[in-house]
Amino acid sequence: MKTNILNITIALLISVMFFSCKDDVETTKVNSLEGLIKLEEGYAIGAAAKVEVWGKKNFFMGYNNLTVVLLDSINPTDTLKDAHIYFQPLMTMPQTTGMPMKHACPVENPNEMAMNGVFPGAVAFVMPSMGGAWNLGIYVHNHKNDKSATVNFEVTVDNPPTTVMSVFTSQSPDSAKLVLSLLQPQAPKVGMNDIEFTIHRKASMMEWPADSTYTIEITPEMPSMGHGSPNNVNPVHVGNGHYKGKVNFTMTGEWKINVAVKKDGTTVSKNVYFNITF
């Protein structure tokens, strides 16, 4: 009992200290690369820029948050803060007969102006490297010298132990090929969690635009016990192909989130689900 009271007191003291330090934290520069590892680096020679690609872990099939850092190739201590960056992923799949098949995948290109000195964006790899070879091209238009060039990385895209992306053909008359990625929760906990998806549509081999015309319904389930959870909030479109909602977990363990993607009220997905274990 005493220890509990003591714990509260300590917690209160710590929180007081924390709040009093908060101002200092905000004035110091946020380290935008904290928790990230450098996945690739190379030179976009014509643009006089050194390109670094940072991420939480190696590339995987799914929605990858990628942070690009641009450095002046002559003076590498100088970070470039104003540039156009385009992700140009390309998969080459050798075919048994004829020409190899080539296709891209959905991307979210960074803003022109760096955020806290870096360029966050995303690439949603639609398959792992097993079926072919992924090349991640990064086109850089350096606004400092108004020159542009592309750097190419041969990357390995892993097949993650738990699936976080579903690529399927829509059960609608247009038979669109859809890419459904699970972005959140990344650190699931018991209780209410944010859940976020993206939907991209394959317009052609090279164009995979975001699509806001679908609705998503989620049904979490604990398959081992056969129960679900109450008060989940179906994701709604919030912009740029992103859909956000809430998912509830009543306990730790293995959860399955059944997802129905709908167009004009009709389900166009078939048996799509994601497992979350914690």
Query: Where do contacts with another protein occur on this chain (CB under 8 A)?
Result: 1-2, 4-5, 7-8, 189-192, 222-231, 248-254, 277
Closest CB to another protein among 8 and 206?
Answer: 8
Shortest Å distance, C-beta 255 to another protein: 10
C-alpha to C-alpha distances, 226 to 222, 223, 255, 265, 271, nearest whole angstrom: 6, 5, 10, 27, 17
Give me the least distance between CB of 248 and another protein, in Å please: 4
Query: What whole-number distance in Å separates Cα of residue 81 and Cα of residue 224?
Result: 50
**Backbone Cα Rg of the chain:** 22
**Residue 90 vs 233, nearer CB to another protein:** 233
Nearest-approach distance from CB 256 to another protein, in angstroms: 9
Residue 138: name the closest of 69, 211, 61 by CA: 69
Closest approach, Cβ 168 to another protein, in A, equals: 18
Question: CA-CA distance, 181 to 217, in Å (whole number)?
Answer: 14
Nearest approach, Cβ of residue 229 and another protein (Å) = 6
* CA atoms of 249 and 264, how far apart (whole Å): 29
Q: Which residue, 2 or 29, has its beta carbon nearer to another protein? A: 2
Least distance from another protein to the Cβ atom of residue 41, Å: 38
Nearer to another protein, 116 or 224 (CB): 224
CA-nearest of 260, 263, 268, 228 to 247 is 228
Between 149 and 222, name the residue whose CB sits nearer to another protein: 222
> At 5, is the secondary structure helix, strand, or coil?
helix
Three-state secondary-structure class, residue 22: helix
Judge whether 195 and 166 are in contact, CB under 8 Å.
Answer: no
Q: Which is nearer to another protein, 52 or 254 (CB)?
A: 254
End-to-end CA distance of the chain: 31
